[in-house]
Amino acid sequence: MSIELLNPSDLPTPTTYSHVAIATGTKLIFIAGQEPEDLKGDLVAPGNLALQAQQTFANLGRALAAAGARPDQVTRLGIYLVGYLREHQAIVQEARVAVFGDHKPVDVLIGVAALARPEQLIEVEATAVI
């Protein structure tokens, strides 16, 4: 499996993601939107984006491992945030780096009105190629 992440010279260079992911492999892994839930399915830290982001990305890492994939094999992330504000990017990025390190797959960050639970603030889905 190989993933080439690139930023074309005629586009601005982002700091937290890549514009293009070119993946070659034998298997695609699709991870459903991970939520800030503990092992019992209880929502953690209602109303606290930083703690919810940490739990969500940790859960995403566990889901990838269960599929036999590593974070550096992720090609795309979908990040959904309730009541998105620009300052939320730094909070999400800190939680993301804890799982992905320097790996910067393509992503989309979408502000939404609500998620599955009233006090849930974040959900993250992923696609990986192994």
Series of mean pLDDT values for 10-residue runs along the chain (130 residues): 88 91 89 96 96 98 96 97 96 97 96 96 97
Residue 25 has what pLDDT? Answer: 77
Nearest-angstrom CA–CA distance, 27 and 110: 27
> In which residue are the tokens 């982001």 written?
53
- Domain 2-129 in CATH 1.10.10.970? The answer is no
The Cα–Cα gap between 66 and 77 comes to 17
What is the DSSP track for 54-76?
HHHHHHHHHHHHHTT--GGGEEE
Amino acid present at 30: F
31 phi, psi to nearest 5 deg:
-105, 125
- Say what the pLDDT of residue 3 is: 86
Domain locations in the chain as residue ranges: 2-129
Residue 93 tokens read as 């990025």
Residue type, 33: G
Q: What is the dihedral angle through the alpha carbons of 119, 57, 87, 8, rounded to the nearest 10 degrees?
A: -140
User: Which pTM value belongs to this model?
Assistant: 0.90
- Which residues contact residue 17 at a Cβ distance below 8 angstroms, ignoring those fewer than 6 apart? 77, 104, 105, 106, 107
